[in-house]
Structure 1
């Protein structure tokens, strides 16, 4: 989260989130700025000045009517006939003022487009010292970016990616604001690091998704393939996690960083996917199959650890098809068959049942 208490007028004017609020482009349910302004009355005057500047820098083209313009010109010319000409400085002062205003407007527009598009780094986000490339997606359609090492990034709408100037030399570092899916080319000698707020995601070669919109309460990292290390960076100079703070994610696992509580929660992705669909063919058909074997099959095909008491479930069997339905649907059917329950804990599934004796 940015420390808005330290912001000056120019900082607010450059902040994309603040500008969207001033211009009425935030969803109605987003009341962050109203609440923030109420809880910090000492900043009200500064906020009002920043709002005025944001509004003033907007360029709103007018709808001009050619007939009205023609009539206005004729009226002006008619009123100037047989009248003494005004001194030069009087005749031109309004034109000069209009020109200055127009120039300032275009200058402001250029300044905003050049400097304000990218989110500024905060004390919570380790800024990449030298930026070689900036990618911005302000549309609704995802944008595919191929990095110099062959890695691909699918950048979602309202998101941006910054690539370090030294990318590919000793490390591969990028900074993400928003949401993106990464397909990272494997290179054991050059780890790939994604900075998103306080969260750092470190991989060697894998595919994963990060959702880190500035206004969201959480940052999430979902792993599709391979292994990912996620940790919180509290020191700008620290790029290696402390062992007690890092979280290791495997396929179909998710790490959620709760900004308000400043901590990680490890769980499963919303829709776990089969790791290899070719291997899954005809693997979900069962006939008097021991439940332990059924659970082992689900665990293998989804790559999700399932914990249970072997002794209690050794006499349970299942006959039927689990081809249809999601990962959670399959678990529900199995548990209903043996009168058990399941819950997700720390990125694993724990099944609790009395058995079938």
Structure 2
């Protein structure tokens, strides 16, 4: 039986929306057995036969529904036969494969639902929004029709219009995301968060805007980014960042001073790593909970405000816990997805 997490990886793999590390994981899984490889190949065929969609779908539901339908592939597609691993019992016929697959793929959209935003002065006023979420322990990749790509960190979400029809390209972020924005002729790309707004024409940058934190952090990899408090409508309250620069916007205090940083360390999460620079231990634990989908408790709460600095390059959970334990002089106990830190 394919686990739910693997179905979600397959979803991103067949729709070409997975990260390089996720692609490698799927390909290793395919190498484990011929049945796995046949399943992925059949899913790819379903996706190729379906009408083009802007965003991902729930592959598991699509596959289960697909097995319940007999599909007349039409003259141009009769060369494709579902593999013996499928063992589906074909029943009814719809007029064309595309018609059936349209019903399947449109009817099972996962992680996307329509919402309405009433934001004065925004192109999204009274406009339907889509919603993409990266669950705990996962990342998600979103590709827009203009070529812009967004990678969501674990436990993060992004709202965006079905099409960028207005004067701006505007999205709404909760959590952390990395953006590679394709330049749009005089059509700014704006990221709205609870505390700050980030505006660009074309660049690569990272935005960290967790609900649990009072500050929004913005770091720029390439290009130029304008950052201002979300409550401000005056351009003079914004700061301009270039490659290798970082700034924080603190709720109630505004924009802090611009810092020159090693931006690649701030982007380690893209490749599975972690970077902590003098962060309170409680924030460190929150990031670990999101990344590894675990629950962490601490008996001695006085340690939660102690600053912690370290860099992890694509480490597994056990290695991270060992470093935390040694650095903070704490013991830990792990049972399933629950971890408890305590004094020796």
Q: Tell me if both proteins adopt one fold, taking TM over 0.5 as the criterion.
A: no
TM-score bucket (shorter structure): 0.3 to 0.5
Larger of the two Rg values belongs to structure: 1
| TM score, norm. by length of structure 2 | 0.40
Give the alignment's TM-score, normalised by structure 1.
Answer: 0.39
